[in-house]
């Protein structure tokens, strides 16, 4: 029998991520940021759409992350920019969480 997680990409374990510490993980040369916010896990591209900021180093408040470079902000649920200077959205994935592991489908 095929487990649903067999077709997904494993990014990290739930123990790797906390509300205060997002987690950066690379798969096939692409960097993802994994967040825990308000009890939910979120996965986004790690690279800010405005410049070189790594969102996994950002400040999380509610369901938003603030880029550490110029303090632009994004909604973790949609990837939409919510504060300047960010104007372009970032890509987001809806994670699957199973047995303490975090997966995505359709990797970058
Ligand atoms: S690099 Fe992220 S706000 Fe400028």
Query: What pLDDT score was predicted for residue 107?
Result: 87
**Nearest of 95, 77, 92 to residue 104 by alpha carbon:** 95
pLDDT tens for 82-105 read 999 999 999 999 999 999 999 999
Q: Which domains does the chain have, with CATH numbers?
A: 4-104 (2.102.10.10)
Measured in Å, residue 31 CA sits from the centre of ligand 1 at 16
Q: Which of 55, 57, 86, 89 to mutate to test the pocket of ligand 1 (most atoms within 8 A of CB)?
A: 86
Q: Report how far residue 99's alpha carbon sits from residue 56's, in angstroms, rounded to the nearest whole number.
A: 23
Q: What is the mean pLDDT of residues 1-13?
A: 83
pLDDT band at 1 (very low <50, low <70, confident <90, very high): low
Measured in Å, residue 24 CA sits from the centre of ligand 1 at 17
Q: Which residues, 6 or more positions from 12, have their beta carbon under 8 angstroms from its beta carbon?
A: 23, 25, 34, 101, 102
The number of the ligand 1 atom at minimal distance from the alpha carbon of 72 is 3
């Amino acid at each position: 029998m095929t487990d649903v997680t067999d077709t997904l990409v494993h990014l990290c374990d739930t123990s790797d991520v906390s509300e205060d510490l997002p987690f950066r993980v690379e798969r096939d040369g692409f960097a993802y940021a994994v967040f825990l916010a308000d009890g939910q896990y979120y996965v986004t591209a790690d690279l800010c759409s405005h410049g070189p900021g790594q969102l996994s180093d950002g400040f999380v408040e509610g369901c938003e992350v603030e880029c550490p470079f110029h303090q632009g902000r994004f909604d973790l649920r949609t990837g939409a920019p919510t504060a300047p200077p960010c104007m372009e959205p970032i890509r987001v994935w809806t994670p699957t969480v199973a047995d303490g592991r975090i997966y995505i489908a359709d990797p970058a």
